[in-house]
Chains A and B, each alone.
Chain A
């Protein structure tokens, strides 16, 4: 509760700046309209015009909020194709598109995190992997995802894979990297005394891994999972762009830009941000529970 006021202040400031920017960016359109009609637009007209255009350069916060409401709750509850009338999610609703993206994100994240953890275990235990895998992992992240995503889609499509899997693979491609880096660091975090101690017990590699390295790496794992989850969502959205904009948040972004529907684009962006925040929040919750059970949260 103590942080409520500061947070509110920051949010208000952002909204105020946003409204200001709306006037600044959208005023030209109102002036043009007035000039075409042979009139002079007054301040009140400009102000009103900036916040109510159908395709503004920058939509006002309340326009985005209204679109978010219309495209989620209103669409599903009252829409002709909504879940209330048809029993299935409407293909015009952001809930449906967010779910399409989220399912690819979750699958890709599971792939990516699993792969990242396995690679990290290999890197820590095998000198050859230590020397060979990391440079490739780093190189993989220097390739722009926008360049490689269509290639992955095309290649996988030619072997008969389409839809969820290719998107999940692009998503995994982005999310494995932070997990590898974080887990390598975490698995190597035990200090010399702790490793020597296990040596005095004549503990093998297995015991060292399960009893020391793995538990010691937990804080690192959760930090890198949070980064990985966000990257995973970006990957899924990017993976939806070259598929012909069938479904998903990426598709909404693409159709929005085809038809200049800036309000729709911004609503989709916010939907993506809300999904990402939800994922990171969920991981944070698991992290708090796990570390508390391990006695590491104070």
Chain B
């Protein structure tokens, strides 16, 4: 943890109070051959340090688009967006976040350790520190001992864990996750959800998590942002009363079911005009 001080200063500082991510009146309109498409409109949202915020909604509701705006992979056409107190693009250049995509997207020609090491190589970490960090994050996602395997030798769940390790390898305190477990089966997904919560507790990162599974959103989040399509917008923001420590059984509790019900109602309301 030698370079942490310098890196933190660069990424905006971890002692800063106030929201890590702040959007006001945020909108994005894509120009397509069939005319403009409003992917996102009027998004007002402030996310504080250490929060776990889920974005849920049907496809086309702009949840992924919002995440990509935060990551500066898309440029908003309206409104303001700040990440770590700077513009999204400045935050990207300061390597303020780790991004986990829907597909693991590991390089087939690199070992698991080599894949996890990729961002460290690009960011110019010294060799000894790279090895140490790789060892640490592989331990964190319970992949110790798989460092020398190639991606195709691992199951889909393990590949996705490796891609999470890759996003954790450098000291970004924001983790953006775009349906990371969408392609996995229910059992693996439960296990990874549990591990992700533990990881969040241990690291204290701010996590933005896109999903279209209601139980997943309720189980993981401190806040759930319900979105609806055409145009993509926020219809409800639900604060979760669940404690930070959440065993899988909590999904049978009354509070859990109540929140899930409210999310479902929110999703239905957003869809009402279409039916």
Stretch of B21-29, B41-49, B90-98 lying at the A interface: B90-98
In the bound complex, do residue B95 and residue A202 qualify as a contact, i.e. CB atoms below 8 Å apart?
A: yes
In the bound complex, do residue B105 and residue A197 qualify as a contact, i.e. CB atoms below 8 Å apart?
A: yes
Asked whether any CB of chain A lies closer than 8 Å to the CB of B36, the reply is no
Residues of A within 8 Å of B118, CB to CB, are 201, 211
Residues of B within 8 Å of A211, CB to CB, are 118, 121-122
**10 more CB-based (< 8 A) A-B contacts, given A202-B122, A212-B107:** A193-B103, A196-B99, A197-B105, A200-B73, A200-B98, A202-B93, A211-B118, A215-B109, A216-B109, A295-B152
- In the complex, chain B residues 91-148 whose Cβ is within 8 Å of any chain A Cβ: 92-93, 95, 97-99, 101-103, 105, 107-111, 118-119, 121-123
In the bound complex, do residue A295 and residue B99 qualify as a contact, i.e. CB atoms below 8 Å apart?
A: no
Q: Name the contact of B108 in the complex, choosing from A193, A198, A203, A295 (C-beta under 8 A).
A: A295
User: Complex formed: what's the CA distance from A198 to B97 in Å?
Assistant: 12
Give B109 Cβ to nearest chain A Cβ, in Å.
4
Residues of A within 8 Å of B121, CB to CB, are 211
Chain A contacts to B: CB under 8 angstroms: 191, 193-194, 196-203, 207, 211-212, 215-216, 218, 294-296, 298
In the bound complex, do residue A200 and residue B99 qualify as a contact, i.e. CB atoms below 8 Å apart?
A: yes
Q: Name the contact of A202 in the complex, choosing from B92, B98, B105, B108 (C-beta under 8 A).
A: B92
Residues of B within 8 Å of A207, CB to CB, are 122
Query: What are 8 A-B contacts with C-beta separation under 8 Å?
Result: A193-B105, A194-B105, A194-B107, A197-B99, A201-B119, A211-B118, A295-B111, A295-B152
In the bound complex, do residue A193 and residue B101 qualify as a contact, i.e. CB atoms below 8 Å apart?
A: yes
User: Complex formed: what's the CA distance from A295 to B123 in Å?
Assistant: 24
Give B96 Cβ to nearest chain A Cβ, in Å.
10
In the bound complex, do residue B122 and residue A198 qualify as a contact, i.e. CB atoms below 8 Å apart?
A: yes
The residue on A at minimum CB distance from B89 is: A202
Give A125 Cβ to nearest chain B Cβ, in Å.
18
Chain B contacts to A: CB under 8 angstroms: 71, 73, 92-93, 95, 97-99, 101-103, 105, 107-111, 118-119, 121-123, 150, 152
A-B residue pair count with CB separations less than 8 angstroms: 53
User: Complex formed: what's the CA distance from A127 to B73 in Å?
Assistant: 21
Give B12 Cβ to nearest chain A Cβ, in Å.
15
Greatest chain B CB density within 10 A among A207, A295, A296 is at: A295
Give A201 Cβ to nearest chain B Cβ, in Å.
5
Give B28 Cβ to nearest chain A Cβ, in Å.
16
Give B167 Cβ to nearest chain A Cβ, in Å.
8
Residues of A within 8 Å of B105, CB to CB, are 191, 193-194, 197
The residue on B at minimum CB distance from A208 is: B122
In the bound complex, do residue B95 and residue A201 qualify as a contact, i.e. CB atoms below 8 Å apart?
A: yes
Residues of B within 8 Å of A295, CB to CB, are 108-111, 150, 152
In the bound complex, do residue A196 and residue B108 qualify as a contact, i.e. CB atoms below 8 Å apart?
A: no
The residue on B at minimum CB distance from A207 is: B122
In the bound complex, do residue B123 and residue A200 qualify as a contact, i.e. CB atoms below 8 Å apart?
A: no
In the bound complex, do residue B122 and residue A196 qualify as a contact, i.e. CB atoms below 8 Å apart?
A: no
User: Complex formed: what's the CA distance from A212 to B106 in Å?
Assistant: 11
In the bound complex, do residue A200 and residue B108 qualify as a contact, i.e. CB atoms below 8 Å apart?
A: no
Residues of B within 8 Å of A199, CB to CB, are 73, 92
Give B76 Cβ to nearest chain A Cβ, in Å.
16
Residues of B within 8 Å of A197, CB to CB, are 99, 101, 105
Give B169 Cβ to nearest chain A Cβ, in Å.
10
Give B121 Cβ to nearest chain A Cβ, in Å.
7
Greatest chain A CB density within 10 A among B97, B103, B105 is at: B105
Q: Name the contact of B123 in the complex, choosing from A191, A201, A216, A294 (C-beta under 8 A).
A: A201
User: Complex formed: what's the CA distance from A201 to B110 in Å?
Assistant: 17
User: Complex formed: what's the CA distance from A212 to B108 in Å?
Assistant: 11
User: Complex formed: what's the CA distance from A201 to B98 in Å?
Assistant: 8
Q: Name the contact of A200 in the complex, choosing from B71, B102, B107, B111 (C-beta under 8 A).
A: B71
The residue on B at minimum CB distance from A206 is: B122
User: Complex formed: what's the CA distance from A296 to B110 in Å?
Assistant: 9
Residues of A within 8 Å of B101, CB to CB, are 193, 196-197
Residues of A within 8 Å of B99, CB to CB, are 196-197, 200
Q: Name the contact of A201 in the complex, choosing from B102, B109, B122 (C-beta under 8 A).
A: B122
Residues of A within 8 Å of B123, CB to CB, are 201
Give B148 Cβ to nearest chain A Cβ, in Å.
10
Residues of A within 8 Å of B150, CB to CB, are 295
User: Complex formed: what's the CA distance from A297 to B99 in Å?
Assistant: 29
Residues of B within 8 Å of A191, CB to CB, are 105
User: Complex formed: what's the CA distance from A218 to B107 in Å?
Assistant: 13
Give B88 Cβ to nearest chain A Cβ, in Å.
11
User: Complex formed: what's the CA distance from A193 to B163 in Å?
Assistant: 12
Residues of A within 8 Å of B95, CB to CB, are 201-202
User: Complex formed: what's the CA distance from A207 to B98 in Å?
Assistant: 18
